[in-house]
Amino acid sequence: MATYTTTAGVGGILPEQYGALIVEPVQAASVAIQVSEFVPTDNVTFHVPLMTEDVSASWVAEGAEIPQDDPVFAEDEVTPKKLAALTVISRA
């Protein structure tokens, strides 16, 4: 039985060819994917903008000047991780 650690020489089962058949039903049934957002990236770190303080609203008298307020933003740096499993498929 041959074991492949790369995609070279496995032209019949490349991800592009079996993705719709195998990956999409698994993603649809995955609780983790349903409650999260998938963000593909090739970077070592990923920066997520965060609004740390919202604008405040208040009642204003008719004709009075409306006070200006701005939201406060920050940034969270995320290091992507990979969760993986390997299943050996053979013809035997």
Domain map of the chain by residue range? 1-61+69-92
pLDDT tens-digit map of 28-38: 888 888 888 77
Round to whole Å and give the CA distance between 11 and 40.
24
Q: How confident is the model at residue 42 (pLDDT cuts 50, 70, 90)?
A: confident
- Which one has a higher pLDDT value, 31 or 2? 31
CA torsion sign, 32 to 33 to 36 to 42? positive
Among 54, 51, 55, 42, CA closest to 75: 51
Interval 4-27: pLDDT, tens: 555 555 555 555 566 677 778 888
**pTM of the predicted model over 0.75:** no
pLDDT of residue 68: 94
**More reliable by pLDDT, 90 or 76:** 76
